[in-house]
Amino acid sequence: METDNAAAVHVAAPGRINLIGEHTDYNDGFVLPAATGLHMQFRLQANGSPGQCRCFSETLQEGVSVDLGDLQARKGSWANYAIGVLHGLSGRTGGLKGFDARFSSTLPAGAGLSSSAALECGLAFGLNALFGLGLEPAELIALCQEAEHEFAGTRCGIMDQFAATMGKKNHFILLDCRSLEHRYIPSRLGAYRLLLVNSRVTHSLAGSAYNQRRRECEEGVRWLQGRFSGIRSLRDAGMEQVESFKGEMPERLWNRCRYVVEENLRVLEAADALLASDPEKLGGLLSASHEGLRHLYEVSCPELDFLADTALSLPGVLGARMMGGGFGGCTLNLVHEDALEAVGEELKKAYKKGFGRDADPFEVTPGDGVRLLP
């Protein structure tokens, strides 16, 4: 149990949105994410034991207890995100001890806002502060990504953990996922706002499809390496190089390569559009991204396609695309502020009629990354 005289640490860890740049992060490419105002809150306190760690989710009303001497993955459990963080911290410092943690979330489950990264980063950041472990943000980001790989079984890129840690209010992050060089881009959307629409279709990124896409990209790289030097990942490929394999490389692999190369270019163009306060240009890039995800990368689904197509037919919408790993979650829509309510209501009505499901529209704005609370 928590001891009354032990100092507690309070932490807010945000989810993230990704304006554009889907599935480019694990290809060493570019992404344009932001932290959100939706977040998890943590209360962490040392419990005086050498290694007994207890985490309780107030949202799920479910807890887990682990010992630092026995950090083993548990099949199909959200606890793997926490266990993976403890494993990463233990491997980097000897200062971690027993603690009690409680957390709650305003992040909608399965919506593609990366609640897993929020859990990982909030726990790692909080324990780093609670025990004075002295780890730098870059180390915390890396160990949270490792937790996802080794304990949750998802070979994700660095984007989610980076955005959750390094987010800045009213800014997107133009991130080079190879070097981790980054630049804050002001959210200059003029009279336009970002409307997320949760399809309420759930997906598991630990499933085969996500990891399969990564393997397909790696296979495409091997094809390219056979002809061109200097190709370490799809980040290094140009469209002319990819085009040279059309009809030779298996079509599925060629489509994956083409999408990633085109999406990297769209990310850079989107950053320029923000800097130029050009929402029309940005909207076109968002819609082009969805078409690539739908037809070339094949990670969309009928519900997401319907929501994106319907949004684009409505007045005041400049662009729409699926956001996240795919096969469910949210669409991201660039909508004029005067049309936000009407667009949300129309999408809810059309989606209910078409699929018998309730869609959940809500506005999002870029927020700050993981931080201590009073």
Output DSSP code: residue 194: E
Given a cut of 60, whether residue 122 has pLDDT beyond it is yes
Q: What is the pLDDT of residue 80?
A: 92
More confident of the two residues 5 and 195: 195
Given a cut of 70, whether residue 1 has pLDDT beyond it is no
Q: What is the pLDDT of residue 89?
A: 97
Q: List active site positions.
A: 160
Structure token pair of residue 179: 């070097």
Q: Give Cα 27 to chain centroid, integer Å.
A: 15
Q: How far apart (Å, rounded) are the C-alpha atoms in residues 119 and 77? A: 13
Q: What is the pLDDT of residue 203?
A: 60
Map residue 43 onto helix, strand or coil: strand
What fold does the segment set 192-364 form as a domain?
Alpha-Beta Plaits (3.30.70)
Q: Which of 107-111, 149-153, 325-329 has the lowest mean pLDDT?
A: 107-111
- What's the CATH code, domain 8-187+369-373? 3.30.230.10
- Residues 55-79 have a mean pLDDT of 90
Q: Could you list the beta-strand ranges (E) of 83-170.
A: 99-105
C-alpha dist (Å) from residue 105 to 15, 58, 92, 271, 371: 10, 8, 28, 30, 15
Q: How far apart (Å, rounded) are the C-alpha atoms in residues 148 and 188? A: 33
Given a cut of 50, whether residue 339 has pLDDT beyond it is yes
For the entire predicted model, the pTM comes to 0.92
- How confident is the model over 223-273, as pLDDT tens digits? 999 999 999 999 999 999 999 999 999 999 999 999 999 999 999 999 999
Q: How far apart (Å, rounded) are the C-alpha atoms in residues 311 and 321? A: 9
Q: Where are the domains of the chain?
A: 8-187+369-373, 192-364
Q: Would you place residue 63 in the very low, low, confident or very high pLDDT band (cuts 50, 70, 90)?
A: very high
- Residues 117-122 have a mean pLDDT of 96
- How confident is the model over 283-324, as pLDDT tens digits? 999 999 999 999 999 999 999 999 999 999 999 999 999 998
Q: What is the pLDDT of residue 62?
A: 92
Given a cut of 80, whether residue 204 has pLDDT beyond it is no
- Residues 183-198 have a mean pLDDT of 97
- How confident is the model over 84-108, as pLDDT tens digits? 999 999 999 999 999 999 999 998 8
Among 207, 245, 170, 174, residue whose Cα is nearest residue 326 = 207
Q: Would you place residue 77 in the very low, low, confident or very high pLDDT band (cuts 50, 70, 90)?
A: confident
Type of residue numbered 161 = Q
More confident of the two residues 11 and 157: 11
Q: What is the pLDDT of residue 7?
A: 81
Q: What is the pLDDT of residue 6?
A: 64
Collect all residues with Cβ–Cβ distance below 8 Å to 151 and sequence separation of at least 6: 73, 80, 81, 83, 84, 87
- Residues 202-230 have a mean pLDDT of 86
- Residues 192-218 have a mean pLDDT of 85
Q: What is the pLDDT of residue 233?
A: 98
- How confident is the model over 14-38, as pLDDT tens digits? 999 999 999 999 999 999 999 998 9
In percent, the amount of the chain with pLDDT more than 90 equals 85
